[in-house]
Amino acid sequence: MLRPAAPADSPALVALAAATGVFQPGEAEALLGGVLDDLHAGRLGDGHLARVWADGPDGPPLGWVYFAPTPKADGVWDLWWIGVAPAAQGRGVGGALLGAVEDHARAAGGRVLVVETSGTPAFDPVRRFYSARGYAAGGRVPDFYADGDDKVIYAKRLRGRV
Q: Contact residues for ligand COA (CB under 6 A)?
A: 20, 22, 82-84, 89-95, 117, 125-126, 128-129, 132
Q: How many beta carbons lie within 10 A of that of residue 97, not counting itself?
A: 23
The one-character DSSP state at 60 is: P
Closest Cα to residue 36, out of 53, 16, 11?
Answer: 11
- Residue number with the smallest Cβ distance to ligand COA: 94
Separation CA 137–CA 115 (nearest Å)? 9
CB of 160 to ligand COA, least distance (A): 25
Q: How many beta carbons lie within 10 A of that of residue 53, not counting itself?
A: 22
Which is nearer to ligand COA, 34 or 109 (by Cβ)?
A: 34
Which is nearer to ligand COA, 40 or 123 (by Cβ)?
A: 123
Which is nearer to ligand COA, 19 or 76 (by Cβ)?
A: 19
Which is nearer to ligand COA, 7 or 90 (by Cβ)?
A: 90
CB of 146 to ligand COA, least distance (A): 15
Residue type, 103: D
